[in-house]
């Protein structure tokens, strides 16, 4: 069974507060997204890797991507992550079977473990819905009232932090995003959940962090350097 990857990379990285979008910031001598694509490139079951960049992207063309044979770049990014993903899926659906498995993976997660993605594809191959990598919440959760005063400790039992990849069938995911599009749709699973589906939770890894703030870039460089990259 083949699967494809869709990498949303059309964000501006506002929380990183850098002039360059975070996916192009330097990480061990390469743009951050290079590491993400390098990891996905090592997943044998991925037939092709599609990247969604912004129509205004000025950085992608400045690099040589020839080493990655299975890459296709699409300049169809939208105003939100969900819109970028949906635009990418709609473009894909012109030449991809509607039941193809699509693994949506944030460009901003460069430390994803290829073996874990391989495992995910094998585990979910016959699943009726699909699923996501996630990790159980480890910290005690506090709800803030006014002026940084705690009003409640939220029970963390059963709570997980969603990661990517998130793996769903092309037409099912595109349909769920089309129907459910809104600010509450912050990942693919939330669109499926809105339709009443129950995606599977697969144990991810704390190493698979999303680079959001400047300190995440430091953590990612430590993780990748420890792996010899």
Binding site for ligand CTP (CB under 6 A): 8-15, 23, 52, 77-81, 84, 106-108, 210, 212
Measured from the CB atom, the residue of 73 and 127 that comes closer to ligand CTP is: 73
Please tell me the distance from the alpha carbon of residue 50 to that of residue 169, in angstroms, as a whole number.
15
Measured CA distances, 53 to 106, 176, 185, 207 (Å): 12, 22, 19, 25
Min dist CB 12 to ligand CTP, Å, is: 5
Measured from the CB atom, the residue of 12 and 127 that comes closer to ligand CTP is: 12
Min dist CB 22 to ligand CTP, Å, is: 6
Measured from the CB atom, the residue of 107 and 117 that comes closer to ligand CTP is: 107
Min dist CB 65 to ligand CTP, Å, is: 17
Can you say how many angstroms the Cα of residue 114 is from the centroid of all Cα atoms in its chain? 14
Min dist CB 132 to ligand CTP, Å, is: 14
Using DSSP bridges, classify how beta strands 200-203 and 71-74 pair: parallel, antiparallel or unpaired: unpaired
Whether 102 and 172 have beta carbons less than 8 Å apart is answered as no
Measured CA distances, 139 to 72, 136, 159, 226 (Å): 39, 9, 11, 25
Whether 88 and 19 have beta carbons less than 8 Å apart is answered as no
Min dist CB 79 to ligand CTP, Å, is: 6
Measured from the CB atom, the residue of 149 and 215 that comes closer to ligand CTP is: 215
Which residue number has the CB closest to ligand CTP?
11
Report the run of H or E that residue 49 belongs to, with start and end.
Answer: strand 46-52
Measured from the CB atom, the residue of 14 and 153 that comes closer to ligand CTP is: 14
Measured from the CB atom, the residue of 15 and 156 that comes closer to ligand CTP is: 15
Min dist CB 14 to ligand CTP, Å, is: 3
Q: Which residues pair with 167 in a beta bridge?
A: 103, 131
């Amino acid at each position: 069974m083949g699967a494809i990857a869709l990498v949303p990379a059309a964000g501006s990285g506002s929380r990183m507060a850098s002039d360059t979008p975070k996916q192009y910031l330097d990480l061990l001598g390469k743009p951050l997204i290079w590491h993400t694509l390098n990891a996905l490139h090592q997943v044998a079951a991925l037939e092709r890797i599609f990247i969604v960049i912004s129509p205004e992207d000025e950085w992608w063309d400045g690099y040589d991507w020839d080493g990655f044979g299975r890459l296709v770049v699409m300049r169809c990014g939208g105003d939100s992550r969900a819109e970028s993903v949906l635009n990418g899926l709609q473009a894909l659906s012109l030449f991809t079977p509607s039941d193809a498995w699509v693994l949506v993976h944030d460009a901003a997660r460069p430390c994803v473990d290829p073996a874990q993605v391989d495992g995910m594809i094998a585990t979910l191959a016959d699943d009726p819905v699909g699923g996501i990598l996630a990790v159980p919440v480890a910290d005690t959760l506090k709800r803030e009232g006014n002026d940084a005063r705690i009003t409640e400790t939220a029970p963390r039992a059963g709570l997980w932090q969603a990661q990517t990849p998130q793996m769903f069938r092309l037409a099912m995911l595109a349909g769920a995003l089309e129907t459910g599009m809104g600010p509450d749709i912050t990942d693919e699973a939330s669109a499926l959940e809105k339709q009443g589906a129950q995606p599977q939770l697969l144990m991810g890894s704390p190493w698979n962090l999303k680079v959001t703030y400047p300190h995440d870039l430091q953590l990612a460089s430590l993780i990748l350097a420890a792996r010899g990259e």
